[in-house]
Chain A
Amino acid sequence: MAQTPTPADFSLLPPGAGQVWACGTPLPLENGAALPALEVAYQTWGTLNEARSNAILICHALTGDQFVLGPHPITGKPGWWEQIVGPGKPIDTDRYFVICANVLGGCMGTTGPRALNPETGAPYGLSFPVITIGDMVEAQARLIEALGIDRLLAVVGGSMGGMQVLEWSARYPARVASAICIASAAHHTAQNIAFHEVGRQAIMADPNWADGDYLSRGTVPRKGLSIARMTAHITYLSEPAIARKFGRNLQDKAEVSFGFDADFQVESYLRHQGSTFVERFDANSYLYITRAMDYFDLAARANGNLAEVYRDAATRFCLISFTSDWLFPTEETRRIVHALNAVAANVSFVEIASDKGHDAFLLDEPVMADTLRGFISATAEGVGA
């Protein structure tokens, strides 16, 4: 006999796999609503020093989570930034207190569409409010405050994580000693929005999505979510990277099958990416988080004048882009650099030569590692951490 799931069953975060902080007060949101209850799931590494001056907040990307270091509680795989974070690594956990929290709207323990709506006792689903990058930052800011940290040594992130970094330094300049924004942009472009819309439509076209009510129905929109992932994954790679990895190579066969099986390795790879993603991610979370990225336009609050957002900023900025990243191209980063220059902010910028596309920030890029190590270390010396 099928059991009615208990509330705990809805979280993808296995019980006991990490820390969860419950905020005692409602969280006001940019759309005018408020979340009556907020929980933030997070992980920390290293030790907070006595002066509380060595804390680094890492902001994860769209499909990332708080498991910067592994093993991941669902997949068992290494964390998503093992080459950058750890003892002796550029973000040195022997020296810094490193925090990463699952974003608002996420599905790894922080309040999101899988959480129970206190008003109905059922999972939010589509009754979850549409959230923004700013709302994600507000949730993190509350956690950081609860951890007793007045000023972060660095806020760092790539892609959507970079958007949060930009938002953090715009909202709370006094709480951010340095901001490191990698492969990101101050707004989501029309092309970015277009790709997200394809992903969302794939999810919503899946009958198992059931108008977002799949948790109550006991179904999972696997097909839709995996197609969304497959589409997005292409945008994370560069043509040379795909060509090098797969070319036109066939998958376990000598000739094409004259059918629609995964003849090509690249098809097989994408299918695998899609099907494994479904095991660790939630379809509604995907809708909400992609929407938050689409809505991101940092300059909108200053009538389109990005520089005005950072007037009088005392934060040290470091911006990094990659030559082959066509999803968040260098020109988007350069716009931010020029805006920061216009207010004479302290800014560093480097475009790193890489043929790995947008994904480069997650991969082994020694130049990025050297830059991060030097920049963070210099900031730490500057504040005596």
Chain B
Amino acid sequence: MTTSHSQLRADLKAIAAMVPSHARVLDIGCGPGDLLAHLRDEKSVDGRGIELDPASVNAALARGLSVIQGDADQDLSGYPAGAFDIAILSQTIQAMHRPKTVLSDLMRVAGSTIVSFPNFGHWRVRAALAFKGRMPVTQNLPNRWYDTPNIHLCTVADFTALCSELGATIEEAVAVSASGAARTIRPGSALANLSAETAIFKLSN
């Protein structure tokens, strides 16, 4: 049941690199459990997942992962403080109804929170709006405006501001491109906000 590193999506690989071995991990929106399975097999983590889609939950359970079918918008508040070392929110925050509440819930239940999101400040996104006057449809944001699940898109600068509003310390920030390469970015930098396709932040209280 080992997932090789190469099969893992590029942003998940970068997230995995931020997770220490044997950590207690909660993965929100874990899908069929690719990241959790990888972390279990490669880093011996004690992993749990929350996933909305029943078929994905089934797939995760069938591979032996501990996943509950639920909604982070509603189900997170029940967990006790400090229940996990790491909470992961990969490509999910932009689809949340209350991203700020979810983020502060995660920071309560876990020592560190890793968030990855499509950067709406990326130059391709800006170009689509500026030059075509159309809502951007990119590799990272493949849906059109009327069928996208992404109701709360933000830029690296927006997210950095939210972190400061929540009093979160940014431990690490990286950008991941479509080619899969991850590089460290400075969250406050305008260039980072222009060049990062996907951003990954590791936060602590």
Contact = CB atoms under 8 A, between A and B. Distances in A.
Given A342-B78, A344-B83, A349 B69 contact: yes
A342 B68 CA distance: 13
A347 B84 CA distance: 14
Contacts of B65: 348, 374, 378
A352 B69 CA distance: 10
Contact of B64 (A338, A351, A374): A374
Contact of B61 (A353, A371, A381): A371
Contacts of B67: 348-350
Contact of B58 (A344, A347, A367): A367
B40 to A, nearest CB: 9
A297 to B, nearest CB: 20
A318 to B, nearest CB: 7
Given A349-B70, A352-B54, A370-B61, A338 B75 contact: yes
B181 to A, nearest CB: 34
B79 interface: yes
Interface string B61-87: 111111111100001001110011000
A373 B80 contact: no
A347 B66 contact: yes
Interface residues of A, number: 26
Nearest to A307: B78
B58 A348 contact: no
A370 B68 contact: no
Given A338-B78, A342-B79, A374 B69 contact: no
B64 A375 contact: yes
A352 B46 CA distance: 25
Interface in B12-59: 46, 48, 54, 57-58
A348 to B, nearest CB: 5
Contacts of A344: 79-80, 83-84
A350 B75 CA distance: 14
A237 B105 CA distance: 40
Nearest to B82: A344
A294 B185 CA distance: 60
Interface in A9-55: none
A348 B61 contact: yes
Contacts of A370: 58, 61-62
Interface in A343-374: 343-344, 346-353, 367, 370-371, 373-374
Contact of A343 (B64, B66, B80): B80
Contacts of A349: 57, 67-70
Contacts of A191: none
B39 to A, nearest CB: 14
A381 B37 CA distance: 14
Contact of A350 (B48, B54, B79, B80): B54
Nearest to A367: B58
Nearest to A376: B64
A95 B78 CA distance: 37
A352 B65 CA distance: 17
A176 to B, nearest CB: 16
Given A349-B69, A353-B54, A341 B64 contact: no
Nearest to A323: B54
B64 A377 contact: yes
B80 A342 contact: yes
B61 A375 contact: yes
B80 A348 contact: no
Interface in A313-331: 316, 318
Contacts of B58: 350, 352, 367, 370-371
Contacts of A377: 64
A102 B117 CA distance: 54
Given A353-B54, A371-B61, A341 B68 contact: yes
Contacts of B80: 342-344
A341 B79 contact: yes
Given A341-B68, A347-B68, A350-B69, A374 B62 contact: yes
Contacts of B62: 370-371, 373-374
25 contacts: A337-B68, A338-B75, A341-B68, A342-B78, A342-B79, A343-B80, A344-B83, A346-B48, A347-B68, A348-B61, A348-B66, A348-B67, A349-B69, A349-B70, A350-B58, A350-B67, A351-B69, A367-B58, A370-B58, A371-B58, A373-B62, A375-B64, A377-B64, A378-B65, A381-B64
Given A347-B68, A349-B69, A350-B61, 12 more contacts: A337-B70, A344-B79, A346-B46, A346-B66, A348-B61, A348-B65, A349-B68, A351-B54, A370-B58, A375-B61, A378-B64, A381-B64
Lowest 5 CB-CB distances: which A-B pairs, in order? A378-B64, A344-B83, A374-B62, A349-B68, A370-B62
